[in-house]
Structure 1
Amino acid sequence: MGIFGALTTSVAGLRAQSYALENISGNIANSQTTAFKRIDTSFLDLIPDTGVNNQLAGSVTTASRETNTVQGDVQAASVSTYMAINGNGFFVVQKPGSFSDNQPVFSGVDNYTRRGDFALDKNGYLVNGAGYYVEGVPIDPATGNMTGSVPQVLKFANDFLPAVPTSVVSYRANLASYPLTTKHDNSIPGSELLQPADFASGNPRTLGTPATPYGDATITGAAKNNKLSTPTPITGSTLLNGGTNTDSLTTNFVLGDTITVDGTAITIVNTPTNLATNEINLTTGTIQDLLANIQAITGVAPTISGGAITLHSGTAANLTVTTSNTTAFGALGLTAPVNVPRTGGGTAGTGQVLGSDLQAFINESVSGGAVTAYDISGSPVSLQLRWAKVDSSSLGAGHTDTWNMFYQVNSSATGTDLAWQNVNTDFTFSPNGQMTPAIAGITLTAPTIGGVPLGNISINFGAGGVTQFADANGNVKVNQIQQDGFPAGSLQTVSIGQNGRVVGNYSNGRNIDLAQISVATFNGTNFLKRIDGGAFEATDQSGQALFGSGGTIVGSSLESSNTDIADEFTKLIVTQQAYSANTKVITTSNSMVQDLLNVLR
């Protein structure tokens, strides 16, 4: 290589630096382009074939060095359909070759891009700012599974989402061990229970439950003392009327007072002898005289122990006690009026509550929550639940804590109309509050609610889903009540979930996965061919697109350009200096040629 070789090498150097400058200018120009991948410049020396002692630095050429694997910053965006890939991979896209009737016509050739500023166009396609249409795999809205594996251009039509009838209700609740029904009375064992005898139209307990014979019920009053100077508990010999410092009630009954038991009046009279039936002498009458009169009416003897009186209903009738002197009656430890229903009674279980017995049912049960269910056309129906405790272990041997569940059939039922239906299952609980035996769920067979027929509905409790623990509020605490049906709805908007799924937001409030955005990777990522709009084409060197190992799609986000302005400015300075140095070599070579020509002169 001589002087002229130096000239041509310097020209090659100018050309190489110009090429680098072009790449730098392009990088800077696209510093704000979404997901732009900068192009660096590689300088390659060209060495002529010479001897070892005659080796030359040689000329230079340039080549582009791709940075497709260098990710830009991922930044949040306010548009729900924007997305970015955090990690390796590209969105699979297509660009229409033409349009027909305002609809895109695709060539079927896939391109690839990191530009994720996709938005829904008027035709229902997701299109980015460069005009590329995203591809993915549709999802079956019924199963939530992808319907294939080959990406296709996604289109989301504004169609209706068909109604889905309710088929499953998930239910979790705790039943208060002592429900505070309207009729409960802490002093009367079993008063919190559903009383079949109160239902004139039939026993609402589980269908086929045998009729329970009437049983005796009790009520125990508060312990009371007499009016001795040193008070002692009242006994059967305590007088109903007495003076100071006597074994008598702290408040006296007086002449003419009455205590009416089951409709029969017991009267305080001033007749010392020859007392008529249901009469008690004013001056000599004792608590035992009163209890004996009550026994004659109810058939069961009341008792007194520790100053507390226990009354019995007997089996002939419910016990009702009223009095004309409530203050004196209170000195007995009892509060008028007294109402103690007999246990048992009623017919065999019918499993139904008719309209005529509606109030009795409401009084003796507690709300179990409600959920809106849907029929096959998507019409809403309010599925109301109630629980009634039908037996209690507190009643002694042979009794267990047992509940029945009901659902409302007709909210405006009257007379012989069916109001509530028993699910016809006895739910029993052990002392530790767990259902024994465990019942995982029950099925309502084609119920008709409010005149709307529904299909079979499974109410699932799961393992330990229904318990019976003490609750100060005395009600049913519903922890979960969810159903799987919904009405029809039209597509309102779409958004990108964090798992890369396109989510449809419908007018019925449902969010349904519609498609999975596809992410393609390549073995030779930096050998993809660039085309307009931040897109790439596959080449022999890049290899074919691979699926299943790409990065994570981040919704409502965009990837920034990976161009670093400071770095590009630094390269710009270096390139400028190198270009100037090459021009200096040309000037020097030219001067040397002139000196050579001057030798001939």
Structure 2
Amino acid sequence: MGVFSALTTAVSGMTAQSYALENISGNIANSRTAGYKRVDTTFADLVPDAALNRQIAGSVAAYSQSTNSIQGDLNPTRIDTNVAINGDGFFVVDQRSSGVGANTQFANKNLYTRRGDFDFDANGYLVNGAGYYLKGLKIDQVTGQLIGTQPDVLRITKEQFPAKATTSIEYRANIPAYPKTNNADSAVAGSELLSSTGFASNPLSTTQGGTGVVVGSDMTSFLSQSIPGGSVTVYDTLGKATSVELRWAKTTNASAGPPPTTDTWNLFVAENTGATGGAVAYRNVNSSITFDATGQMTNPAGGNIALPTMTIGGTTVTGINLTTGGNGLTQNGDVSGQIDARSIRQDGYTAGTLDRVSVSAEGQVIGTFSNGQVVALAQLSVARFNADNSLKRLDGGAFEETIESGPPIIGLGTSQLVGGSVEQSNTDIADEFSKMIVTQQAYSANTKVITTAQEMLTSVFNIIR
């Protein structure tokens, strides 16, 4: 029976090599498929049970060997929504089951893929080239916290980002110890100070016995006794913009003797620079701002200055604090005699629409809006497996969880996401052709065994002739 066994063994060898060639063919066919993981072939011998001194080599069986853990090259695409995983892990995706547009229904089943060529469809869903929909968690744009715990299909629409009223102006500047106003004369003591003399309405703060306003008829005198402090655009609750112009005037010097023991300034905000007569042109914040001998601000405590409620160009400005951070506003000598404003920034903005979307290394979907705001919109879900080579392969480069793979572990771990890139196939064409030559030779050798076995059987049959 040895010759017949040789025939059977040779057939199993041909079958195994055919199986290997099929895998090689698939790998070469998918050498340019994004996220594709090649399938290698492993062989196992099949030994029949026999006595120790009668054991034979036996036949062979071929099995698939996955390479899901072997990463392909990352190829930049310059498409912001394309993303690749540098390290372990799979994107969590889903399939459409029915419906179209906003009424699309999904299978609600987690599948996994390394194919990251995601792009927006007409309805704001992120879909890859194989038709799988990206899943993740939405992020609350106000609190920045994740919404929910289970990955869901992400839909990012170009809805308007609401306006935010300005509540704080960060102001960091140095005020000159000697302001060079138009009236300042080094030969005349106190000429650099704001005086109530000659004003129809005393512009000093109410804490210093003044009215706290500058009227239109006093504009020329006021501008000659104060220096500009910069301006900033602020927004109301509807996102309407208006410009807030600041102006500083020194009211007392510490050198005047006790009291006072500190330098004192008044801060004014322009309400209507075109005012005439008794109409209000500038409004005092009504807070005496003082500095000690080292140039550090001593009042108000904490460095926050509340701006007065006023109407500027038809827009009501209210509830805004000028924040200096305690040491952001100083009074030091400056040869220019002018305000050195290092930073004037506010926290409000107008309404905006979504301009572009990108993906950060941590997996956050970042939205850039037309109003300049950059906001995290969603968190991509990335799943890792203890045995990712045991996942079941599906069409389109997707995988399905199995008992052998274990449950998914959600989280990037030590991996990173690379936005604007796509992972390529991990197939090595040169290696596949080398395996093809070996496979062809092995197949041919098995056919030779069959030919030899046939000749031997022919010789046996000829004995009886």
With the length of structure 1 as denominator, give the TM-score of the two structures: 0.73
Paired with 1:198 and 1:432, the residues of 2 have a C-alpha distance of 33
Q: What are the Cα deviations for residues 75-125 of structure 1, in whole angstroms up to 9, with x where unaligned?
A: 222111111111111111111112246842212112111111111111111
1:279-318 map, 5 Å: none
- Aligned twin of 2:370: 507
Q: What are the Cα deviations for residues 212-259 of structure 1, in whole angstroms up to 9, with x where unaligned?
A: xxxxxxxxxxxxxxxxxxxxxxxxxxxxxxxxxxxxxxxxxxxxxxxx
Contact 1:103–1:123, Cα closer than 8 Å, also in 2: no
Paired with 2:101 and 2:92, the residues of 1 have a C-alpha distance of 25
Task: Give the C-alpha shift of residue 368 in structure 1.
Answer: 1.6
Paired with 1:413 and 1:364, the residues of 2 have a C-alpha distance of 18
Where does structure 1 differ by over 6 angstroms across 4 or more consecutive aligned residues? none
Call closer, same or farther: CA 1:101–1:385 in 2, change over 3 Å: closer
1:436 corresponds, among 295, 298, 314, to 298
Contact 2:272–2:280, Cα closer than 8 Å, also in 1: yes
- Aligned twin of 2:275: 413
Task: Give the C-alpha shift of residue 130 in structure 1.
Answer: 1.0
- Aligned twin of 2:424: 560
Paired with 1:433 and 1:38, the residues of 2 have a C-alpha distance of 70
Instruction: Establish whether residue 452 from structure 1 lines up as the match of residue 451 from structure 2.
Output: no
Call closer, same or farther: CA 1:439–1:198 in 2, change over 3 Å: farther
Instruction: Establish whether residue 4 from structure 1 lines up as the match of residue 4 from structure 2.
Output: yes
Instruction: Establish whether residue 364 from structure 1 lines up as the match of residue 225 from structure 2.
Output: yes
- Aligned twin of 2:125: 125
Task: Give the C-alpha shift of residue 406 in structure 1.
Answer: 1.8
Q: What are the Cα deviations for residues 410-456 of structure 1, in whole angstroms up to 9, with x where unaligned?
A: 23222211222222222222232222355331223544333322341
Contact 2:283–2:308, Cα closer than 8 Å, also in 1: no
Paired with 1:370 and 1:10, the residues of 2 have a C-alpha distance of 89
Paired with 2:92 and 2:135, the residues of 1 have a C-alpha distance of 5
Contact 2:207–2:286, Cα closer than 8 Å, also in 1: no
Contact 2:174–2:332, Cα closer than 8 Å, also in 1: yes
Give the aligned residue type for 2:277: G
Say which SS state the counterpart of residue 438 (structure 2) adopts. helix
Instruction: Establish whether residue 387 from structure 1 lines up as the match of residue 386 from structure 2.
Output: no
Q: Which runs of 5+ in 2 are unaligned?
A: none
1:346-365 map, 5 Å: 348-365=209-226
Give the aligned residue type for 1:417: A
Task: Give the C-alpha shift of residue 543 in structure 1.
Answer: 2.1
Call closer, same or farther: CA 1:452–1:102 in 2, change over 3 Å: closer
Give the aligned residue type for 2:427: T
Q: Which runs of 5+ in 1 are unaligned?
A: 210-347
1:484 corresponds, among 318, 334, 347, to 347
Paired with 1:584 and 1:375, the residues of 2 have a C-alpha distance of 88
- Aligned twin of 1:208: 207
- Aligned twin of 1:526: 389
- Aligned twin of 2:191: 191
Call closer, same or farther: CA 1:375–1:79 in 2, change over 3 Å: same
With the length of structure 2 as denominator, give the TM-score of the two structures: 0.94
Contact 2:36–2:425, Cα closer than 8 Å, also in 1: yes
Instruction: Establish whether residue 377 from structure 1 lines up as the match of residue 241 from structure 2.
Output: no
Give the aligned residue type for 1:425: S
- Aligned twin of 1:18: 18
Contact 1:168–1:484, Cα closer than 8 Å, also in 2: yes
Task: Give the C-alpha shift of residue 525 in structure 1.
Answer: 0.9
Contact 2:297–2:303, Cα closer than 8 Å, also in 1: no
Q: What are the Cα deviations for residues 275-330 of structure 1, in whole angstroms up to 9, with x where unaligned?
A: xxxxxxxxxxxxxxxxxxxxxxxxxxxxxxxxxxxxxxxxxxxxxxxxxxxxxxxx
Contact 1:189–1:395, Cα closer than 8 Å, also in 2: no
Contact 2:231–2:243, Cα closer than 8 Å, also in 1: yes
Task: Give the C-alpha shift of residue 16 in structure 1.
Answer: 0.8
Q: What are the Cα deviations for residues 540-572 of structure 1, in whole angstroms up to 9, with x where unaligned?
A: 212222212442221111111111112112211
- Aligned twin of 1:60: 60
Contact 1:189–1:394, Cα closer than 8 Å, also in 2: no
- Aligned twin of 2:49: 49
Say which SS state the counterpart of residue 60 (structure 2) adopts. strand
- Aligned twin of 1:588: 452
- Aligned twin of 1:114: 114
- Aligned twin of 1:301: none
Contact 2:125–2:155, Cα closer than 8 Å, also in 1: yes
- Aligned twin of 2:151: 151
Say which SS state the counterpart of residue 567 (structure 1) adopts. helix
- Aligned twin of 1:96: 96
Paired with 1:386 and 1:57, the residues of 2 have a C-alpha distance of 98
Task: Give the C-alpha shift of residue 538 in structure 1.
Answer: 1.3
Paired with 1:418 and 1:568, the residues of 2 have a C-alpha distance of 84
- Aligned twin of 2:333: 470
Paired with 1:364 and 1:532, the residues of 2 have a C-alpha distance of 79
Task: Name which of structure 1's ranges 88-97 and 474-483 shifts more when overlaid on structure 2.
Answer: 474-483
1:211-290 map, 5 Å: none
Paired with 2:87 and 2:22, the residues of 1 have a C-alpha distance of 29
Q: In percent, how many aligned pairs have the same letter?
A: 51
Say which SS state the counterpart of residue 297 (structure 2) adopts. coil
Instruction: Establish whether residue 426 from structure 1 lines up as the match of residue 288 from structure 2.
Output: yes
Paired with 2:351 and 2:270, the residues of 1 have a C-alpha distance of 25
Say which SS state the counterpart of residue 590 (structure 1) adopts. helix
1:546 corresponds, among 378, 395, 409, to 409
Task: Give the C-alpha shift of residue 66 in structure 1.
Answer: 0.9
Instruction: Establish whether residue 403 from structure 1 lines up as the match of residue 402 from structure 2.
Output: no
Contact 1:165–1:455, Cα closer than 8 Å, also in 2: no
Say which SS state the counterpart of residue 149 (structure 2) adopts. coil
Give the aligned residue type for 2:265: W
Paired with 2:44 and 2:241, the residues of 1 have a C-alpha distance of 74
Call closer, same or farther: CA 1:499–1:355 in 2, change over 3 Å: farther
Say which SS state the counterpart of residue 164 (structure 1) adopts. coil
Paired with 1:104 and 1:182, the residues of 2 have a C-alpha distance of 70
Question: What is the CA RMSD across the aligned residues, in angstroms?
Answer: 1.9
Task: Give the C-alpha shift of residue 503 in structure 1.
Answer: 2.3
Give the aligned residue type for 1:481: I
Contact 2:207–2:288, Cα closer than 8 Å, also in 1: no
Contact 1:208–1:350, Cα closer than 8 Å, also in 2: no
Task: Name which of structure 1's ranges 451-460 and 76-85 shifts more when overlaid on structure 2.
Answer: 451-460
Task: Give the C-alpha shift of residue 397 in structure 1.
Answer: 5.3
Call closer, same or farther: CA 1:66–1:424 in 2, change over 3 Å: same
